[in-house]
């Protein structure tokens, strides 16, 4: 066995070499714009029971260790179409990433147009809030719509309710399914207790925890119940067997892996099973499952009464045995982000505006099964979405928080802008920011997302193009031209039926990502886009 | 043999994972279904990965088994009532916790701690540790906070301890001179404490303790026991203690100074012994970050007999057992009419609720009035510790330390002490 091993390895290497650098063309097939998991089926399955305790234990103590012991190969996201984008699915709908949205649209989130005001009173209190950190109850407004109401609690008044409203709108604009969350002001007289609702004593405890406005009204967050029949939470890893459409393991879905950057942006530590909701869209006999994200009250700078826990928020998970053992045996001499001196925290935003932010060093409460699989291309995809949130969008979002002091909204906007910049520096520069390829009049044009969103200046951009026809013959191509945030290159006159065009753009001394490699097929009407890939810089054709 | 082991591990790995992998064939795990493009070839790298996979297969099987066992227990549990990050802890009127103590040269102790609460005003606690019929320790405390800054308490304690060793009195005590004995004691304490401001605490207490001792086993060198050994004693001891502590002493990373002085008057109600006890401790902590600090501390204790009858030895200053008291020695073996320890400790946080520490100490017990105190007669002690953060009844701690003979006797390492406790701090 020992003598045959080198020969075996040589054979394997040879086999690998024979296939390693082959051209991988995109098939002549329609672009996948909609995931097959949106197809209707039936009947409606039984609701799934929450396993959040096991989810946490697995994320903290087993998942990473088993991956390491099984020497698992890095796996690419699966649900990525030929343009390196995610199709609309039960988890995600393309919104700001593929079309511009006005600040008002972004701020509205999932709420119907003109529905950002307090729900019509009186409110009939119909049920208690079953679990979670913040106290609350279920109510039905005068129009018959049911909402979940949550208050801030004594610590950090206004933050939790504002975070729920702002982050729900932000993630909705990004493409995820979230509820319509609104900051509301009401009076105790607006509530009508019912037989099925909480006791007066419990209701009084909830209201006692609410922030009180100067005019005496109480502040809370009202979350409109999502459309559909609740089926319980969903997990960020694996599939749910009763859902016949659920065939792509969730940890291989780009929209879930890349969600890591979006939640890091807003410091949403609690992105885990307990804050998800699966919904049946349809009737009892036929429909499909939609996967929503809920409960963002921990975002935008939550602090803890224990200072040490607060310092670790965003820098360490609830438990990190590896770091604990490292710190034990190195006598605490390895620098850690949480060793910093606590800065004066803002009464509402905590240290959200002042803490150092490293997009790749950011940690949720525990790895949820998808986040730890995010790779460079997933991160670049999320960065292209985040880039679309410019300052006016952030200001509109901050206004949803209805802070009593306008200075808090300004502080929040500055913090979001600073963190956005950190994300773009880390992830929009790793792979090409060129996107949305199109062919017009014999020219291939792409949007430079870094320039169109103000991250880079067009005047300082350096563009280059190269092309290969068929299986690899180099073809001369003109230098790209640039206008209105678009980079265009004239397609060469070649006989080949398949063409690959590399368009590179960079800002010297700031970034140097790899090219956007556009694959084109010649059809009856001329060249059409077959696919787009974003190889790392230096990767061979 | 090695080849057989490797092959068996591989087969076992394949057998265990076969059902899961069979299920995965129904899943979409290739991007080709979405981008209509053949996947990149990874066969060479994948083949190479099988070498470490086979080698790690036994560990992987062990970890997988652990995962499945844990899943069996945890998966049926529904969502917790509140997150670990809950703004305010859910108050529990009744709390039951385990109490465990494992200590070198002592039999293990396992018990239960029960707490009854009425808000933050009234608390009753009861703890007991019992391993066999030779040992029982019971402690209870009733605490009442009628107004802010004022605490009234009543505490009771009873226990029997066996396998104890008394090495005699004075700085030169050594295991070769030990007396094996059993100590039965019981008593109570009534106290009132006032916090004039956050860092200050003034406490007046009255303690009554009943001591009885008996020899055990075959002593190496039977010798006259320490004062009060044969007769026992019932001690009444009022005490006045004043403490100032600027530090958040329970966690690393908080600097400041601390000072404590206590005076007590002891009387053996069964005899004529009367004495005065003085205790003083000073510490200065310098924090280097929110998670690191160094503490320099000094401790001194003195018992001055007021009559010809000496106080019962169990009431004399003693060292051993805890950091700052020569942790490398087991508690209860060194007694003297005076004691002093200087210590240096480096402490750092390793988790949200866990600190580690390294410490070195020098000190010893001495005669009346420190009359034979010299630097050369000091013992050294050094060790490591782990401590959880929290109040004194929700604790976890580990200590491992070594101690030396007095430096004048050569200073050889002679003795060590290791302790693990869960529950009420000893």
Contact yes or no for B414/B383 (Cβ under 8 A): no
pLDDT in tens, A426-452: 999 999 999 999 999 999 999 999 999
- Three-state DSSP class for A39? coil
Mean pLDDT of all residues in A181-189: 92
Chain B nearest CA to A384, separation (Å) = 20
Nearest residue in B to A62, CA atom: B67
C-alpha distances in Å from residue B291, one per residue of A310, A323, A333, A344: 13, 14, 11, 17
Residues 36-95 of B with CB under 8 A from A: 36-49, 52-53, 56, 59-60, 63-64, 66-67, 70-71, 74-75, 77-88
pLDDT at A216 over 50: yes
User: Do the Cβ atoms of A306 and B352 come within 8 Å?
Assistant: yes
Q: Of the ranges A76-90, A467-481, A510-524, B290-304, which one carries the lowest mean pLDDT score?
A: A467-481
| CB nearest to B37's CB, from A24, A62, A131 | A24
User: Do the Cβ atoms of A24 and B83 come within 8 Å?
Assistant: no
State the pLDDT at residue B202.
Answer: 93
Contact yes or no for A325/A303 (Cβ under 8 A): no
The residues that bridge with A220 in the sheet, in sequence order, are A184
Residues 56-115 of A with CB under 8 A from B: 57-58, 61-62, 65-66, 69-71, 73, 75-82, 87
Nearest residue in B to A9, CA atom: B48
State the pLDDT at residue B219.
Answer: 64
User: Do the Cβ atoms of B290 and A341 come within 8 Å?
Assistant: yes
User: Which residues of A fall within a CB distance of 8 Å from B71?
Assistant: 54, 58
User: Do the Cβ atoms of A248 and B28 come within 8 Å?
Assistant: yes
Confidence band for A330, pLDDT divided at 50, 70 and 90: very high
Q: Quote the pTM value.
A: 0.86
Phi-psi sector, A170: left (phi>0), alpha (psi -120 to 50), beta? alpha
The mean pLDDT values, 10 residues at a time, for chain B of 426 residues are: 66 59 70 91 89 92 92 80 54 80 79 79 72 71 85 88 77 75 90 86 94 78 72 94 84 87 95 95 92 95 94 92 91 89 96 93 93 91 91 82 91 85 70
State the pLDDT at residue A434.
Answer: 97
State the pLDDT at residue B114.
Answer: 85
Nearest residue in A to B3, CA atom: A1
State the pLDDT at residue B165.
Answer: 77
Sign of the dihedral defined by the CA atoms of residues A118, A121, A126, A127, in that order: positive
Chain B nearest CA to A133, separation (Å) = 5
Can the peptide bond before residue A43 be classed as cis, meaning omega within 30 degrees of 0? yes
Chain mean pLDDT for chain A: 90
Residue A249 sits at the chain B interface (C-beta within 8 Å): yes
- Three-state DSSP class for A535? coil
User: Do the Cβ atoms of A71 and B53 come within 8 Å?
Assistant: yes
Please give the angle made by the CA atoms of B54, B58 and B60, to the nearest 5 degrees. Answer: 85
Residues 302-361 of A with CB under 8 A from B: 302, 304-309, 311-312, 318-320, 324, 327-328, 331-332, 336, 338-342
User: Which residues of A fall within a CB distance of 8 Å from B251?
Assistant: 308
A185-189, long-range: CB < 8 A, 24+ apart: A185/A118, A185/A213, A185/A217, A185/A218, A185/A219, A185/A402, A186/A118, A186/A121, A186/A123, A186/A217, A186/A218, A186/A220, A187/A216, A187/A217, A187/A218, A188/A218
pLDDT at A17 over 60: no
Helices (H), A369-465: 376-387, 391-399, 406-427, 449-452
pLDDT in tens, A232-272: 999 999 999 999 999 999 999 999 999 999 999 999 999 99
C-alpha distances in Å from residue A57, one per residue of A52, A95, A216, B58, B258: 9, 35, 43, 22, 40
pLDDT in tens, A87-124: 999 999 999 999 999 999 999 999 988 776 789 989 99
State the pLDDT at residue B83.
Answer: 55
State the pLDDT at residue B419.
Answer: 87
| CB nearest to A133's CB, from B48, B85, B351 | B85
Question: What count of Cα atoms within 13 Å lies in the side-chain half-sphere of residue B170?
Answer: 9
pLDDT at A16 over 50: no
Residues 252-291 of B with CB under 8 A from A: 253, 289-291
| CB nearest to B290's CB, from A57, A65, A311 | A311
**Mutate which of B10, B248, B351 to disrupt the A interface (most A C-beta within 10 Å)?**
B351
| CB nearest to A339's CB, from B36, B42, B289 | B289
A540 or A440, higher pLDDT? A440
State the pLDDT at residue B224.
Answer: 62
End-to-end distance of chain B based on CA atoms, in angstroms?
A: 51
A47 or B24, higher pLDDT? A47
Residue A25 sits at the chain B interface (C-beta within 8 Å): yes
State the pLDDT at residue B10.
Answer: 58
Nearest residue in B to A131, CA atom: B81
State the pLDDT at residue B244.
Answer: 92
- Three-state DSSP class for A352? coil
């Amino acid at each position: 066995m020992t003598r045959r091993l080198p020969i075996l390895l040589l054979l394997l290497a040879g086999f690998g070499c024979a296939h390693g650098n082959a051209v991988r063309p995109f098939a002549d097939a329609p672009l996948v714009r909609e995931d097959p998991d949106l197809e209707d089926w039936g009947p409606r399955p039984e609701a799934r029971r929450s396993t959040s305790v096991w989810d946490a234990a697995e994320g903290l103590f087993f998942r990473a260790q088993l991956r390491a012991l099984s020497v698992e190969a890095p796996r690419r996201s699966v649900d990525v179409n030929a343009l390196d984008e995610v199709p609309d699915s039960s988890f995600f709908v393309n919104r700001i990433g593929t079309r511009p949205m006005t600040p008002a649209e972004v701020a509205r989130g999932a709420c119907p147009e003109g529905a950002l005001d307090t729900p019509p009173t009186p409110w009939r209190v119909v049920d208690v809030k079953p679990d979670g950190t913040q106290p609350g109850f279920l109510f039905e407004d005068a129009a018959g719509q049911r909402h979940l109401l949550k208050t801030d609690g004594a610590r950090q008044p206004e933050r939790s309710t504002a975070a729920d409203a702002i982050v729900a709108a932000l993630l909705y604009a990004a493409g995820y399914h979230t509820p319509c969350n609104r900051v509301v002001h009401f009076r105790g007289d607006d509530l009508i207790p019912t037989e099925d609702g909480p006791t007066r004593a419990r209701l009084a405890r909830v209201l006692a925890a609410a922030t009180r406005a100067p005019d005496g009204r109480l502040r809370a967050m009202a979350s409109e119940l999502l459309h559909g029949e609740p089926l319980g939470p969903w997990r960020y890893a694996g599939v749910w067997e009763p859902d016949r459409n659920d065939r792509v393991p969730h940890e291989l879905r780009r929209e879930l892996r890349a969600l890591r950057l979006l939640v890091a942006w807003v410091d949403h530590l609690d992105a885990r099973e307990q804050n998800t909701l699966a919904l049946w869209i349809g009737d009892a006999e036929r429909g499909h499952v939609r996967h929503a994200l809920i409960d963002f009250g921990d975002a935008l700078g939550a602090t803890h009464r224990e200072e040490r826990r607060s310092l670790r928020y965003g820098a360490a998970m609830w438990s990190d045995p590896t770091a604990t053992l490292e710190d034990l045996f190195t006598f605490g001499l390895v620098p850690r982000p949480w060793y910093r001196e606590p800065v004066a925290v803002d009464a509402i935003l905590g240290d959200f505006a002042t803490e150092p932010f490293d997009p790749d060093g950011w940690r949720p409460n525990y790895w949820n099964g998808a986040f730890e699989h995010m790779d460079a291309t997933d991160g670049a995809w999320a960065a292209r979405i985040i880039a679309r949130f410019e300052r006016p969008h952030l200001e509109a979002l901050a206004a949803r928080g209805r802070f009593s002091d306008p200075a808090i909204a300004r502080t929040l906007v500055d913090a979001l802008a600073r963190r956005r910049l950190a994300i773009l520096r880390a992830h929009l520069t790793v792979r090409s920011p060129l996107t949305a390829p199109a062919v017009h009049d014999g020219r291939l044009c792409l949007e430079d997302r870094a320039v169109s969103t103000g991250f880079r200046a067009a005047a300082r951009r350096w563009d280059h193009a190269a092309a290969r026809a068929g299986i690899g013959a180099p073809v001369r191509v003109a230098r790209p031209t640039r206008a209105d945030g678009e980079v265009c290159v004239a397609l060469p006159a070649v006989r080949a039926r398949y063409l690959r065009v590399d368009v590179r753009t960079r800002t010297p001394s700031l970034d140097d990502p790899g090219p956007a490699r556009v694959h084109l097929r010649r059809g009856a009407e001329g060249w059409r886009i077959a696919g787009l890939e974003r190889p790392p810089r230096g990767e061979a054709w | 043999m090695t080849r057989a082991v490797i092959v068996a591990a591989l087969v076992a790995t394949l057998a265990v994972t076969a059902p899961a992998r069979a299920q995965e064939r129904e899943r979409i795990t290739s991007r080709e279904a979405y981008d209509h493009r053949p996947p990149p070839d990874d066969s060479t790298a994948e083949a190479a990965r099988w070498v470490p996979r086979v080698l790690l297969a036994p560990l992987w099987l062990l970890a997988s088994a652990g995962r499945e066992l844990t899943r069996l227990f945890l998966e049926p549990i529904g969502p917790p009532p509140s997150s670990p990050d809950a703004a305010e802890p859910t108050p529990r009127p009744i709390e039951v916790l385990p109490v465990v103590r494992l200590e070198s040269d002592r039999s293990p102790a396992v018990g239960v701690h029960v707490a009854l609460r009425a808000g933050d005003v009234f608390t009753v606690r009861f703890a007991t540790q019992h391993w066999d019929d030779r040992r029982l320790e019971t402690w209870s405390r009733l605490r009442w906070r009628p107004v802010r800054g004022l605490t009234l308490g009543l505490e009771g304690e009873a226990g029997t301890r066996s396998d104890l060793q008394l090495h005699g009195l004075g700085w030169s005590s050594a295991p070769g001179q030990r007396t094996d004995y059993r100590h039965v004691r019981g008593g109570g304490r009534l106290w009132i404490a006032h916090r004039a401001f956050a860092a200050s605490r003034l406490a007046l207490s009255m303690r009554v303790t009943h001591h009885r001792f008996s020899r055990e086993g075959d002593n190496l060198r039977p010798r006259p026991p320490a004062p009060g050994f044969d007769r026992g004693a019932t001690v009444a001891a009022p005490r006045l203690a004043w403490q100032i502590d600027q530090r958040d002493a329970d966690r690393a990373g908080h600097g400041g100074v601390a000072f404590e002085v206590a005076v007590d008057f002891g009387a053996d109600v069964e005899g004529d012994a009367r004495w005065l006890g003085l205790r003083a401790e000073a510490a200065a902590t310098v924090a280097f970050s929110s998670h690191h600090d160094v503490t320099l501390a000094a401790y001194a204790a003195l018992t001055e007999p007021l009559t010809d009858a000496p106080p019962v030895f169990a009431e004399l200053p003693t060292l051993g057992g805890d950091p700052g008291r020569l942790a490398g020695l087991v508690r209860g073996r060194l007694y003297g009419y005076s004691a002093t320890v200087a210590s240096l400790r480096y402490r750092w946080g390793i988790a949200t609720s866990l600190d580690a520490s390294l410490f070195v100490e020098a000190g010893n017990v001495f005669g009346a009035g420190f009359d034979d105190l010299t630097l050369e007669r000091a013992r050294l002690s050094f060790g490591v510790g782990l401590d959880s953060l929290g109040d004194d009844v929700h604790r976890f701690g580990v200590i491992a330390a070594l101690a030396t003979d007095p430096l004048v006797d050569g200073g050889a390492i002679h003795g060590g002490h290791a302790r693990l406790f869960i529950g009420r701090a000893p």
